[in-house]
Amino acid sequence: MTAISSASAAFTGEDPGNRLFGPVPDVTGDRGYADDHPARVGFFTDTSVCIGCKACEVACKEWNLLPMDDAKGTVDALGLTGASYDNTGMLGANSWRHVAFVEQSRAVDLPMPTVGLPGADGGQRPLEDPPVVHPGVPASATTAEQTDPQRTSSGDREIRWLMSSDVCKHCTHAACLDVCPTGSLFRTEFGTVVVQEDICNGCGYCVPACPYGVIDQRQDDGRVFKCTLCYDRLTDGLQPACASACPTESIQFGDLDALQARADERLAALQTKGVEGARLYGRDETDGVGGAGAFFLLLDEPEVYGLPPDPVVTTRDLPAMWRSVGAGAAMVVGLVASAFVGRRR
């Protein structure tokens, strides 16, 4: 365990590369861990196979003893929005996993009438896939590129449901960690970001610092909470509860480099099959947070899922800001000194 801030390296002069943003080859070693530290781990969430069962939400709450709350964070209240199957509404201090339900409707061109018996062509798209999507997951009706159960039609409208289990991104450059004055937030030996609830003083600086709006304060005592990527389970050699409970392996846990390679292959397979809008989110280490420890395969724009399209770590410009402040202060001191010297003459 360490309380070394990711901002400290940039200000000590031992970080000529300025690691407040940009790629970091070894984010765990950069925080002071020995060379034999474990490999960085994370989540790859493949939303194309998410069925919205919410097993991840339940497993997270059960393992971490999180109280029931509604979409506004009110504890011990059963929240029903009335407009969606989404009863948790958003990530919060008591909901560290949130399954988004997005319903889309768009006009489609109706097919021209054909000659012959209905279903003479079998009515089925040929299965061209190998028999599995991910290891252990058969290429059944859960695959988006085949029968696409998330899509149906009504009249001349095509309707589809997009489902995605959102979570803390465990950023390479975690602004929440940078601004924490007590060391409550720290980088673990697995490369994840964890809050120590017994050290948090409830200042709330980390809340606006998060570019994703993930970390949240509890209303009763003001302390902040978020996903720990089941740090206690990791230290016992177990995978996080949500990944264990996911029946379709939409949530995959493991070595981050291996997950990224698997995600690249999955994206290429979907794009080869003509799946529109497929893209990776949080995979690029040159993005505004240096890449995420929890990244996603989406089927539409990030905004559709409630994700910021181009998140940037909020501490990125701190060195430039401090340089400007220093230059301004030096100029003021110079003016005062020159005025004092001029008066004496």
Binding site per annotation, positions for [4Fe-4S] cluster: 50, 53, 56, 60, 168, 171, 176, 180, 200, 203, 206, 210, 227, 230, 242, 246
Side-chain-side CA neighbours of residue 309 (13 Å): 4
Q: What is the b/e burial string over 217-246, where b = at least 16 CB atoms within 10 angstroms of the residue's CB?
A: bbeeeebbbbbbbbbebbeeeebbbbbbbb
Nearest to 41 by CA among 251, 289, 212: 251
H/E stretch holding 42 reads strand 41-46
In this structure, the dihedral spanned by the alpha carbons of residues 139, 140, 145 and 147, taken in order and rounded to 10 degrees, is 160
Binding residues: 50, 53, 56, 60, 168, 171, 176, 180, 200, 203, 206, 210, 227, 230, 242, 246
For 47, the token pair is 């939303």
Interior CA angle at 133 toward 132 and 135, to 5°? 70
- Nearby residues of 142 by Cβ (< 8 Å), 6 or more positions away: 49, 51, 133, 149, 248
Handedness of CA 306, 308, 28, 193 (dihedral sign): negative
Per-residue tokens: 131: 């028999």
Nearest to 167 by CA among 82, 79, 97: 97
